[in-house]
Homo-oligomer: A and B are copies of this chain.
Amino acid sequence: MPRVVIVGAGFGGLQCARRLVGKPVDVLLMDRHNYHLFTPLLYQVASSLLNPSDIAYPVRTVFRGARNVAFRVAEVTGADLSAGVLRTAEGPDEPFDYLVLATGARVNFFGQDTIAARAFSLNTLSAALGLRDHVLRCFEAATAADLPNRRRLLTFVVAGAGPTGVEYAGALGELVRIMAGRDYPGLSRADVRILVLEGAERVLPAFPATLGADAQRRLQRLGATIRTGVRVESADDQSVTLSTGEIIPCGTLVWAAGVQPNTLDGGLDAPRGPGGRVAVDDSLRVPGRDRVFAIGDMAAFTQDGGPLPMLAQPAIQAGRAVAANVLRDLAGKPMRSFRYKDPGVMATVGRNAGVALIRGIALKGWLGWVTWLAVHLVFIIGFRNRVAVMLRWAWNYFFYDRPIRFIIGSR
């Protein structure tokens, strides 16, 4: 049977593999991790609300019983598209008849090494856990520190006010509200400073202006300070320097100001489109390669004059389309052109507040939050996780608590 190799078990790769279960192909799904990660909720792990197992799911369990789908944990370092072979760091190489590249994105520090050395990001499970540990450590250290150091340790700078930065800042504001005074009697909310910086002129630049303004108001109500038109330029152990020249002493820098496509570290001979993403044709194929597809964050599919956004939904829809096209090709039928159907965008801002744009309808406040909740609950993979996440959210909502507050990493 023809061999379909899928690189990446994120939203796109996983959907593609699921659509090929039981079909006349041998599927090999590869990922550097042994789990699928529900990345839209990573900020809730970073803010002590969810457990890793609430948003991660072992890939092998997803394909249990699927006889034609194999899984391998490996780091793919490159692809020889002409020879039809993938190279891996651990060896052996993997030959393919069809290749689906779905390697996603990683954080982009735009070459600023001092920021890369200092900043926490929100794009992997270990990064989120590291941030969780660090924030709690700052609170513990602040209880014993003198005034200038306490102010510094309790200053949290979030670079970037897209959905990731806004959602994390909101969740951090909630966490502070729960901990300051209650668990840390010596610290008050006034000691804590959450500073959200956005290089563009407003919060949530990809959302309609009214929703961005609403999110900003709600963040401010949670105690965050928002500044637009300003960027973090560099960082050291004790502070960050802004594009205005200001130096802000801080204990934590969270970088939510940019991602870049994962393109096998240059080991991929394919033309690049906008933002360094791999350019693809109408059928999501790498130009000139009939059986090599690229989907999700790492690929640039152009529709209505621009590339699709780097979100879960475009990846999911593209993964399904690629699976269908592989099967059509095998059946001797022509491939179909892909067209993305935009279901909307959404973000939460703390408890009870969210913003959403669904089929042109703008929702905010409690309605936006309930919409966000419903969509994410339906969306989360696996029944068990759904129940666990729902219970934990309910606990948090009614009892106003964050039970998952451990500093586990070694110091």
**A contacts, CB < 8 Å to B:** 33-35, 51-53, 56-58, 60-61, 64-65, 67, 70, 72-74, 90, 92, 125-126, 129, 136-137, 140, 143-144, 179, 182-185, 382, 384-385, 388, 391, 395, 401, 403-410
Most buried by B among A53, A72, A407: A53
CB distance from A202 to the nearest CB of B (A): 36
| CB nearest neighbor in B for A385 | B403
Partner of A406, one of B52, B184, B391: B52
Do residues A52 and B183 form an inter-chain contact, with CB atoms below 8 A? no
Further pairs besides A53-B403, A72-B143: 7, Cβ < 8 Å: A33-B407, A53-B406, A61-B183, A61-B401, A73-B407, A90-B144, A388-B391
Report copies per complex. 2
A189 to chain B, nearest CB (A): 16
Contact status of A52 and B408, CB under 8 A, knowing A64-B182, A184-B60: yes
Instruction: Decide: A35 near B406, CB < 8 A? Known: A183-B60, A183-B61, A183-B64.
Output: yes
B407 touches A34 (CB 8 A): yes
Chain B nearest CB, measured from A73 CB (Å): 4
Q: Which residues of B contact A404 (CB under 8 A)?
A: 52-53
Docked complex Cα distance between A92 and B143 (Å)? 12
Q: Taking A34-B136, A64-B182 as contacts, is the C-beta distance between A72 and B144 under 8 angstroms?
A: yes
Supposing A53-B51, A64-B182, A140-B73 touch, asked if A34 and B125 sit within 8 A by C-beta, the answer is no
Residue of A51, A401, A406 with most chain B CB atoms under a 10 A cut-off: A406
Contact A34 B92 (CB under 8 A): no
Contact of A408 among B73, B92, B126, B406 (CB under 8 A): B126
Distance of A183 Cα from B53 Cα, bound (Å): 17
